Amino acid sequence: MKELHCPACGTPCVRVSSRSGFIEKVLNRLHIFQFRCQLCTTRFQARRPGNRQTSQEFDRREYRRLRTNLVASLILDPPAVDGLVSDISMGGCTLQATTSLPRGTFVKVLLHAPGGQPDIKIDAAMICSIQPLSIGVKFLEFQPEDKQRMGQLVLELLAYQNTAPRVSA
C-alpha cells in the first residue's frame, strides 16, 4: 500500500488521530480515518483499508512522544521552574521537576535547544498531569518560527531514534 504523506508539508510522519463523534464513526466504517502530521500538526482525513487499531497501537495522544534529555523552564509570572524534559512531541512534554504546580495552571515554556540552536518558546501551555517527580505539559500556542523549530527538533529526534515514521495498514 502506498505510504501516506501529510498534504501540507509532504512528510510521511503521520499518526492516526482519535476522535469519537458520530460522523467519525460513520467515516471509520468507510475506512476513512483522521490523521495528524507529527511535524506541522496538520489534521487531515485519508482512506485506508483496514482497521485503525491495526494501523497503530491505540494511544489517546495526537502526537507520538519521543525520548529526549532537554533542559526547559516553565515560566510563571516572576518565578521560573527548571527541569529536564524526558519526552516531547509537537503537542506537549513531560518535565522532570521537583516543584509541583496545580493542574490547569497556564505557563510559558522555554526549551533550551541542543547544539547552540535558538531556544524554542511556547507562548501558552497548560499543566495537564502531575506525578510525584514529573509534570505533564500540553502545548497550546507557538509563534510560527518557534513551531517550525519544534518541528525540526521532532524530526531530528525521529531520525536519531531510527523510528519508521510511516503508517502501515
What percentage of the chain has pLDDT greater than the value 90?
A: 30
Confidence of residue 162 (pLDDT cuts 50, 70, 90): low
| Rounded-to-integer distance, Cα 163 and Cα 121, Å | 26
Contacts of 79 (CB under 8 A, 6+ apart): none
Q: What is the DSSP string of 71-89?
A: EEEEE-SS-EEEEEEEEE-
Q: How many CB atoms lie within 10 A of CB 110?
A: 17
Please tell me the pTM assigned to this model: 0.70
Start-end of CATH 2.40.10.220 domains in the chain: 66-160
Confidence of residue 124 (pLDDT cuts 50, 70, 90): very high
**pLDDT tens track for 125-142:** 999 998 888 999 999 999
| Rounded-to-integer distance, Cα 111 and Cα 153, Å | 11
CATH class of 66-160: mainly beta
How many C-alpha atoms does 47 have within 13 Å on its Cβ side? 1
Sign, CA dihedral 139-143-145-148, equals positive
**pLDDT tens track for 46-87:** 888 765 544 444 556 677 778 888 888 888 876 788 899 999
Highest mean pLDDT among 40-44, 113-117, 142-146: 142-146
